[in-house]
A and B are shown apart, each in its own frame.
Chain A
Amino acid sequence: MEKRVVFRGRWLPVALIAPQIAIILVFFYWPAIQALVQSVFIQDAFGGRMEFVGLENFEVLFADELYLNSFRITAIFSVAVAAIGLVTSLALAYFADRAIRGALAFRTMLIIPYAVAPAIVGVLWMFLFNPTLGIVAHWLRGFGIDWNHVLDGDQAMILVIIAAVWKQISYNFIFFLAGLQSIPKSLIEAAALDGAGAWRTFRSVIFPLLSPTTFFLLVINVVYAFFDTFAIIDAATEGGPAKATEILVYKVFYDGFKALDIGSSAAQSVVLMAIVLVLTFVQFRFIERRVQY
């Protein structure tokens, strides 16, 4: 039977919940409302003059092919980061789970990158791939690849994807490993008795049982690629060259904080809010249904 605690008074529950409500109001609703308001004005940097322009900021945005291009870049970037990150970390977790000797050392090493700050990740990979000084760029030249992400947009995109995936792999790894360890050995042994090979066991037994973890990580990774990769991009490419790595969040930052165009920046955050709403809805409505708990 379910146990329920019932509060008698009216004020105790209110008092208990008030701090959380206050935090949500101050740190979420207030800025969100500000963004909504500012998105319908244009103003000078100092906020001295505001002009109500209705939806003009949005019209300008959607008529701007660079903004539309930023959507395309964000899509490529987040799909690549989520897909490559999940597949790689699942593979690593699968083998780390099977490792018998030195398992603890492997796991610890795989988890360490998560402790590195995103901006440092960006700088680290930028140095490795630096066209003239970087060691990786040097190796690539040995293979006949002329690496110059300062001018080549595709290479810059590959660089930020590698950096973003590398940073996130350890997080995914921990969850996948925990998921793998919670699968009862008896199921796997039963599959082996039925004559299933390693791949077949993985596909038909392990992967379906991992689906709640995978779904959770999918959500987290998409959110990560959308929002948390900002520092990596800022440190590695600053959105360049020629906007080749300017994802939506970076553009909000650039227009708001470097270009001081607060109206446009606010309009873009409103668009981002809408995207997050849609993404969350799609993920829980359509993908979660297929997940077997």
Chain B
Amino acid sequence: MKNERFAALGGWARSGLAVALVSAGLTASMPASAQTEIQWWHSMTGALGDRLNSLADRFNKSQSEYKVTAVYKGSYPESMTAGIAAFRAGNAPHIIQVFEVGTATMMAAKGAIVPVEKLMKDAGYKFDRTAYVPAVAGFYTTNKGEMLSFPFNSSTTVFYYNKDAFAKAGIAKVPETWPEVAAAAAKIKASNAASCGYTSSWASWVHMESFSAWHNVAFATENNGFGGTKARLVVNTPVHERHLNNLAQWAKDGWFLYPGRTNQGDAKFYSGECAMFTGSSAAYANVKRNAKFDFGIAKLPYYSDVPGAPQNTVIGGASLWVMSGKKPAEYKGVAKFFDFLSSPEVQAEWHQATGYLPLTIAAYELTKKSGFYDKNPGTDVSVQQMIVKTTDKSRGVRLGNFVQIRDVIHEEMESMLAGKQTAKQALEKITSRGNDLLARFERTARE
């Protein structure tokens, strides 16, 4: 009897919750005013979230016809899933911020999205693709040359080092190559300048994706997936194996600390625990705010004997996708908002405040002229890594089911770092498991 009552209570609580959720959803989708409202779902928190909200506010104050409502929808995967669920229910927002690994999924969903180039042209704006930094715009452009989404926040992988720890350990030269990083880590450990030599956030992005482009080695066939959905992984090469072997060895020697799959390495660096760190250029804001030591930013390390290295690194971050099925007047508003976002002043300010890449050449020039890079040394490293002519192997990596492929890479790297398998075995498993996922994606994608 007691048990039944408990079960019933649980049932009521659950259905009550469901009713609450449904009604919350209804109120959220109700239009607010006579102004044309534009819903913008995003994943920016903290200082970045404040910046984003101020962009929306300034746009709203600059005119009275449209009102952009920025809504935080959780982490990147969460807001993407929420957007897809809303689309399936016929309730999609106008704009969704989608992270770069979701790009191929969004591209494959023809009919669900409106290409940004078409949107701008329909609304009567001039759209000049060459105004954008090529490595950034190229990532969101189809192989037919149409730019599908609006690049908003793009970052890349850079190397940070603790100058105080370097001085204590007697390291005079900033490491440029991976063997130099290892030598520096050994010195830091030996002199006890920090408890950990080197750590890294985003293992797959830094050590597999950017690593491949930086050494001009292919990551996948079909130009790393840019050529179409038939792409398959080709990371089982001696160059990759050598690097993973080194990471495993350095982990064993206590020089390299694996902190987890996402940005856990950031805190290990700015807390002073690890003296060297590879991660996103957008970690700059947090490092600057939290580090109680002098730090420097340098280019991502490489192997100097690999021909073609260093080439360029790949981008991360997110772009803004416009969902289909909205009214023409609303699309006009979205186009106006994008025009506002891409102005050099807004772009330059966003780049300087956040550590994200400038998206247009004009924004880069403006920042340079203002003397920002001289006052904040190291902030232009990411730009220099990116402003080069890309090759077919270095344009980036754009694969379907990439969220899972990244997890596969992390899983196999974790097994390797735990000593359960060799670098060779890890790369073989990454290739075969990744290719199963690519084959499955190919079947559902629409070209």
Contact = CB atoms under 8 A, between A and B. Distances in A.
Interface of A: 23, 27, 42-49, 51, 132, 150-153, 216, 238, 240-243, 257-261
B259 A258 contact: no
Interface stretch (B54-62, B80-88, B124-132, B173-181): B80-88
Interface in B6-39: 11, 14-15, 18
5 contacts: A27-B14, A42-B444, A46-B111, A152-B418, A261-B401
Given A150-B259, A216-B3, A257 B81 contact: yes
B412 A242 contact: yes
A151 to B, nearest CB: 5
A interface, over-half SS: loop
Contacts of A259: 401, 403-404
Given A44-B445, A150-B260, A240-B261, A260 B411 contact: no
A48 B446 contact: yes
A45 B410 contact: no
B447 to A, nearest CB: 11
Contacts of A216: 3
Contacts of A151: 258, 414, 417-418
Nearest to A255: B404
Contacts of A132: 257, 268, 273
Nearest to B195: A132
B425 to A, nearest CB: 12
A45 B105 contact: yes
A46 B258 contact: no
B403 A258 contact: yes
A45 B109 contact: yes
B417 A47 contact: no
B112 interface: yes
Contacts of A238: 261
Interface string B41-85: 000000000000000000000000000000000000100010010
Contacts of A241: 411, 414-415, 418
Contacts of A49: 444, 446
Contacts of A51: 443-444
B433 to A, nearest CB: 8
B444 A242 contact: no
Given A44-B445, A46-B111, 10 more contacts: A43-B444, A45-B109, A48-B112, A51-B444, A132-B257, A132-B268, A243-B411, A260-B105, A261-B401, A261-B440
A41 B271 CA distance: 49
A153 B418 CA distance: 9
Given A150-B259, A242-B411, A257-B81, A42 B14 contact: no
Interface residues of B, number: 39
B81 A44 contact: no
Nearest to A257: B81
B109 A150 contact: no
A44 B401 CA distance: 10
B88 A46 contact: yes
Contacts of B112: 46, 48
Contacts of A258: 77, 81, 403-404
B111 A48 contact: yes
A240 B414 contact: yes
A49 B18 CA distance: 29
Contact of B15 (A23, A44, A243): A23
B108 interface: yes
A242 B446 contact: no
Interface string B397-440: 00001011000001110110110100000000000000000001
Interface string B245-281: 0000000000001111100000010000100000000
A27 B418 contact: no
B10 to A, nearest CB: 10
Best-surrounded residue of A42, A151, A153, A238 (most CB of chain B within 10 A): A151
Nearest to B401: A259
Contacts of B444: 42-44, 49, 51
Contacts of B261: 238, 240
Contacts of B411: 240-243
B414 A242 contact: yes
Given A44-B108, A44-B446, A260 B418 contact: no
Best-surrounded residue of A51, A238, A258, A260 (most CB of chain B within 10 A): A260
B418 A45 contact: no
A48 B81 CA distance: 15
B410 A240 contact: yes
A42 to B, nearest CB: 6
B443 A27 contact: no
Best-surrounded residue of A132, A238, A257 (most CB of chain B within 10 A): A132
Nearest to A132: B273
Contacts of B108: 44
A261 B440 CA distance: 9
A108 B382 CA distance: 56
A112 B121 CA distance: 61
B109 A42 contact: no
Interface string B231-251: 000000000000000000000
A243 B403 CA distance: 15
Nearest to B260: A150
Given A48-B111, A51-B444, A240-B410, A27 B18 contact: yes
A151 B410 CA distance: 11
